[in-house]
Amino acid sequence: MAGLEQWEDALARVLSSVDETLESRHGARWPRHPARPAHGAAANPQYDGLFRVTAVFTAGYGSALGPGYVLRPEISTLATLSQEDRAAIADEAAALVRKGLAREFPGRDLRVEKDGASWKIVGDLSLGK
């Protein structure tokens, strides 16, 4: 179980770093959802600020890329955003995840690739170092 916990902890560090960067770059760009506290108010960045960046494992059935983690960069606002703005944030988040994976999993074959309309972490998902 330690391997899974280490993997998930490292991935959480990557996603928290991405959230932090998106907040610093774009946190004032749109009004935050009124039900969400200001960035940094919660212990977990998923619960505050304008952005919520998560990744959900999928077995990859029906995907040419196979199993992986689908990235979900969400913008928590009631404002109407254009598809271009949403796509730009998703693309930026994917690029930041790539950098974070290289930092947290050096030498590991992990990639962030487009899978349909989503970005997905694929490659060596084994629990070993």
**Whole-number Å distance between alpha carbons of 103 and 120:** 18
| Residue-level pLDDT at 128 | 65
- Convert the pLDDT of each residue in 33-82 to its tens digit: 999 988 988 888 888 899 999 999 999 898 999 999 999 999 999 999 99
- What 3-state class would DSSP assign to 102? helix
| Residue-level pLDDT at 2 | 57
